[in-house]
Chain A
Amino acid sequence: MNHDPGSSQQVVVRLDGVHKEYGDAKALDGMSLEIHAGDAVAVMGPSGCGKSTLLNMVAGLDRPTSGTVEVRGQDLGTLNETGLALFRRRHIGMVFQFFNLIEDLPALDNVALAAQLTGTSARQARRRALELLDELGVADRKDTYPAALSGGERQRVAVARALMNRPALLLADEPTGALDSRSGEQVMDLLIDLNQIGQTLLLVTHDPRLATRCASRLIEVADGRVARESTLEPTA
């Protein structure tokens, strides 16, 4: 990984007074927070409190009703849809609870696709994808379509895809929520390893064990607002 530990004070994400309303429902209600390079931040809170909405804002998948979202100094509100897409493919990697792999592509091509978007040739993209799958221990499943993979395998392929473009920020929305405990452990270890080599991590989870093991900071959200922030001692 190419992150310089010396830059750990650099602000990667800044949310300032972000509101998001869906009709009458308030998903985010004036959220503000900062994430620094190299951080591993866990976001926790009850179902429906706005955690996924927060991640979508940071990824530029959705726009706030008011307030600003800055990622790596870029105000996302100033970008149009195309600009957001270009920003996303360069700086963001995303992992979801239900994997969201492209069902029509085998594992290897799912991972390679992310690199192809940045103009990498198919051959080079596949080579790097295979390296990543190998690192994550699923290289032997490279030609398998997602429907035939187990949940743990799918999530590892999804993580590989998220890492493909060496993103500044890895977003994970309940990455172990759909996994059995053994697969969950493996994904957890994977995230810890990634953070230790400098990957900035924003992690939404229900699982206190995941939060305490992976994260250095904990943000508790309630009703679309930051309710409490604390620093965690890594236990690993």
Chain B
Amino acid sequence: MSAVWSASRALLRRRKVQTAVIGLVVLCSTTTVLLALTLLSAATAPFERAFGEQRGAHVVAAFDRARASDAQLARTAGRPGVQAAAGPYLQAAVDIPEQWMWVPSGLLTIVGRSHPAGAVDRVRLLEGRWATKPGEIVVNWPVQGSPGPDKLGTKLTVRGAPALTVVGFATSMSKSAGAWVAPEQMAALHPSSVQMLYRFTESATDRQIRDGLAEATAGLPKGSLTTTQSYLTLKRAFSAMADSYLPFLTVFGVLGLLVSALIVGHVVSGVIVSGHRQIGVFKALGFTPNQVVAVYLAMVSVPAVAGCVAGTLLGDALSRPILRDAFSGIETGSAAIGVSPWVYAVCLLGMPALVALAALVPALRAHRLSAARAISAGDAPRTGRGLRVQRVLGGTRLPRAVSLGLGQPFARPGRTLMTLAAIVLGVTTVTLATGLTSTMVAFGRHGQGNGAAWVNVEAGRPGLDQRAPKLSDRQIEARLRSLPGADLVTARALTRVRLAGYTQTAFANFYRGDTRMYDSEIVKGHWPRGRGEAAASPAFLNQHGLAVGDRITLYLNGRQTRVTVVGELIEGNPQALESTWQTLAGLAPGWRAIEYTVELADGADAKAYARAVKASDPGLYVLPGASTNTTTATVVSFSVVFTVLLTFVAALGVFNTVLLNTRERRRDLGMLRSIGMTPRQVTVMTVVSVAGLGAVGGLLGIPLGIAVHRVLVDHVAVVAFPESMKDVWHVPQLAALALAGVVIAVLGALLPARSAARLTIAKVLHNE
């Protein structure tokens, strides 16, 4: 064992508090950084890998068969900028009247392809085989895993087409079709479009994609290109949920890193300042300046590495549920959601490196320190700065213990600034977390309107081994309304529709009844009221490049209708559009509702109501009311954990400062005690020395926290928080937050202050 290691081990063993502080701080920040990096890597890498493996299409385009010939389309593959192309494939949209397997009712895009391979969009077969002759169909499975082989053989019957039997399940990262059949089958499905799949040499931005497509289709007759779908849209949809977590995790990650660097620097510089004489002795013994630095770096590296490893393990454990949540309900296709190894590598190597860097700055002071002076002067020399302040304060009418305490921060301005920074960060975190929690709680409550209980009722589906209801759609609604306890009732139909200009189909919900129960879901505009009005989530509007006021054409059932976006929801499904029953009537008269929502009157018992529903028609199924939003729960628990941790860490920073101050001032304290200062006065003096910092830290940290909160809530792409949820600050709450700095400071100071007060004078003098 080398001398350096011996010396740093001794420092470690005798500085358990400082060691624990460094270990804890590194643990906390490694955990956050790992979570943020995990999400960052999962948001893009898995999509890109799976998309690359399938040689996914940068653009899926559909052309009007009547305007462009197959020969003309085939020639587009040779246009400049086109790296590879597949097609032309005939494409048809068939109407599915009822949900079929997991395919919702509405339009299903079917493409005729003789094989899944090719230069573009190598569709991955999950079960069974490819369709080779008429009567066979391969269905797209959009989510993780596979449906299993037992659904093979299922039959699909569509009006005006022969029956089709499922022979395979496949997945396309390009989402080029809902299902595929052999080309010979297509004629019977009356195709009106032709599909082309393109890969371009330049494909990084929306603009490059647009330009590439324009170049490829330049020679075609006007109006022949009907719909396009860019892979960038799919990529954004893939990471939409992960992206919504990222701002939170990034802010907490950055805060964690800052606090880590700060506290480590603070602790090491404290150890060095209080060990001035010791450094002189090391040098007198023959330690080289580099060896002295190494002693302190080695001392820090032990808790840093331990904290980093523990933090990586903890972060890894926490990342699993968060990833599950971030990708639940997202059509991930064949992309494997997981964490890239580089994330662990960055954490395990980067965090200790950062800590070493933070420790190096104060450790270099030990490098430069003159041994002769350290040995003879003993403790670090006092600057004159604090003394003037002390004289001025001494002339005031404050109790002497208080004025002495107030003067202490000026004696060591560097240490005071570090302590202040720790408190500011602590208060910023507390403020931010308080704000986030208020916002998220308000957000979690918005779906429940005025707080009344509510119940969802589904009509039984015989296809899912449920009993069909005896009552008709309208009768069910009337019955639900008449049962005791019901206040408001709405009915909802769900279908898949095609939107003019977009290849991918969308879900559409159509509502009737007392839809004012949804008014609180709207952040901008209003809930759709009559025929031709629609609303959508911010994610839907983003991904489709739409805004409130825009118009869009829906196709269903061979009919079409134009709707105006009249409202933006606070949040919701990125693939769904909300509209009215009148709109549905124009597209598909006679459709049934699949779900009814009942808001109960004040005080009504949801369980009793559910029993009454079941008794009135066994074909009705009551769903448990939606539990709290998982995003809300995750963000709230995350911010609570971080508030606690960072407050604790900030208090540890103060603790360390006071510990150092009292160690350094032992002789003064002994002297003050010997001239008659009581232990209580020593405690007061010591606590006051940092309480002032706490107050200043509070005043600086609150506006900072409010600003960060505002930036965060404005940048969650999938949720558009209304102003009422963003403006969560009240005077009493702010006053309480202002106290947070003082509380952090006093908490950190109390313990060392009391132990300083209990020092026996004799012992102090013996050691000097």
Query: Given A113-B3, A116-B3, A116-B6, A100–B375 Cβ distance below 8 Å?
Result: yes
**Are B6 and A85 in contact, with the CB atoms below 8 A?**
no
Check B71 for interface membership: any CB of A closer than 8 A: no
CA distance A104 to B7 in the complex (A): 8
Scan residues 18-56 of chain A and give those whose CB is less than 8 A from a CB of chain B.
52-53, 56
Cβ contact of B372, chosen from A62, A82, A112, cutoff 8 A: A62
Provide the residues of chain B in CB contact with A94, threshold 8 Å. 284-285
**Are B6 and A100 in contact, with the CB atoms below 8 A?**
no
Provide the residues of chain A in CB contact with B2, threshold 8 Å. 116
Q: Pick out which of these stretches binds chain A: B73-81, B111-119, B288-296.
A: B288-296
Check A89 for interface membership: any CB of B closer than 8 A: yes
Provide the residues of chain B in CB contact with A88, threshold 8 Å. 284-286
Interface residues on A, range: 20 to 34
**Are A102 and B283 in contact, with the CB atoms below 8 A?**
no
**Are B288 and A86 in contact, with the CB atoms below 8 A?**
yes
Scan residues 68-125 of chain A and give those whose CB is less than 8 A from a CB of chain B.
81-82, 85-86, 88-90, 92, 94, 96, 98, 100-105, 109, 112-114, 116-118, 121-122
Check B378 for interface membership: any CB of A closer than 8 A: yes
Cβ contact of A61, chosen from B7, B277, B290, B372, cutoff 8 A: B372
Cβ contact of A122, chosen from B1, B283, B376, B378, cutoff 8 A: B1
**Are A102 and B370 in contact, with the CB atoms below 8 A?**
no
Provide the residues of chain B in CB contact with A122, threshold 8 Å. 1, 6
Provide the residues of chain B in CB contact with A81, threshold 8 Å. 288-289
**Are B13 and A85 in contact, with the CB atoms below 8 A?**
no
Provide the residues of chain B in CB contact with A101, threshold 8 Å. 281
Distance (whole angstroms) from the CB of B16 to the closest CB of chain A = 12
**Are A62 and B370 in contact, with the CB atoms below 8 A?**
yes
Residue of A nearest to B378 (CB): A98
Distance (whole angstroms) from the CB of B136 to the closest CB of chain A = 78
**Are B288 and A85 in contact, with the CB atoms below 8 A?**
yes
Check B11 for interface membership: any CB of A closer than 8 A: yes
Residue of A nearest to B370 (CB): A62
**Are B3 and A104 in contact, with the CB atoms below 8 A?**
no
Provide the residues of chain A in CB contact with B277, threshold 8 Å. 100
**Are B278 and A102 in contact, with the CB atoms below 8 A?**
yes
Cβ contact of B285, chosen from A56, A104, A114, cutoff 8 A: A114
Provide the residues of chain A in CB contact with B14, threshold 8 Å. 103-104
Cβ contact of B375, chosen from A96, A116, A147, cutoff 8 A: A96
Instruction: List the count of A-B residue pairs having beta carbons below 8 Å apart.
Output: 87
**Are B286 and A103 in contact, with the CB atoms below 8 A?**
no
Query: Given A61-B372, A113-B6, A122-B1, A147–B767 Cβ distance below 8 Å?
Result: yes
Cβ contact of A117, chosen from B11, B285, B370, B376, cutoff 8 A: B285
CA distance A81 to B287 in the complex (A): 10
**Are B10 and A85 in contact, with the CB atoms below 8 A?**
no
**Are B3 and A117 in contact, with the CB atoms below 8 A?**
yes
CA distance A109 to B289 in the complex (A): 21
Query: Given A113-B3, A113-B7, A117-B3, A102–B286 Cβ distance below 8 Å?
Result: no
Provide the residues of chain A in CB contact with B376, threshold 8 Å. 52, 56
Check A15 for interface membership: any CB of B closer than 8 A: no
Query: Given A100-B277, A116-B2, A147-B767, A82–B284 Cβ distance below 8 Å?
Result: no
Residue of B nearest to A117 (CB): B3
**Are A89 and B378 in contact, with the CB atoms below 8 A?**
no
Residue of A nearest to B373 (CB): A62
Distance (whole angstroms) from the CB of B482 to the closest CB of chain A = 82
A and B contact pairs by CB, cutoff 8 A, 26 listed: A56-B372, A61-B370, A62-B370, A62-B371, A62-B373, A85-B287, A86-B288, A88-B284, A89-B286, A100-B280, A102-B10, A104-B15, A104-B278, A105-B7, A105-B10, A109-B10, A113-B6, A113-B7, A114-B285, A116-B1, A116-B2, A116-B3, A116-B6, A118-B286, A122-B1, A122-B6
Chain B residues in the interface with A (C-beta under 8 A):
1-3, 6-7, 10-11, 13-15, 277-278, 280-291, 370-373, 375-376, 378, 767
